[in-house]
Amino acid sequence: MTRFGLPPPPSGILERSNLEAMEAFLAALAAAGASPKTVKAYRAAISDFLSFIGDKRLREVT
């Protein structure tokens, strides 16, 4: 992700809901200059992953 120069994750990100964390990441990705198609691809991949992990919070995923 250094290609886009993303800042470090915001403090408390793991306390947010998975959807809130995803939206924060996608917003940072777009703000860092990623193309809309890149953001769309990440949204699809992350959404698939969140469907896979179910109700687990990000902190619980290892």
Q: How far is CA 59 from CA 14, 21, 48, 53, in A?
A: 6, 11, 18, 12
> From CA 58, how far away is CA 50, in angstroms rounded?
9
Whether the pLDDT of residue 2 is over 70: the answer is no
pLDDT in tens, 14-43: 788 899 999 999 999 999 999 999 999 999
- The whole-number average pLDDT for the span 34-58 is 94
Q: What confidence score (pLDDT) does residue 1 get?
A: 44
Domain ranges of the chain: 16-56
For tokens 């800042």, name the residue.
7
Kindly state the average pLDDT of the residues 37-62: 91
Look up residue 20 and give its amino acid: E
pLDDT of 31 reads 92
Q: In angstroms, rounded to a whole number, what is the distance separating the alpha carbons of residues 42 and 40?
A: 5
Query: Sign of the C-alpha dihedral, residues 34, 61, 15, 44?
Result: positive
> Per-residue pLDDT for 10 more than 80?
no
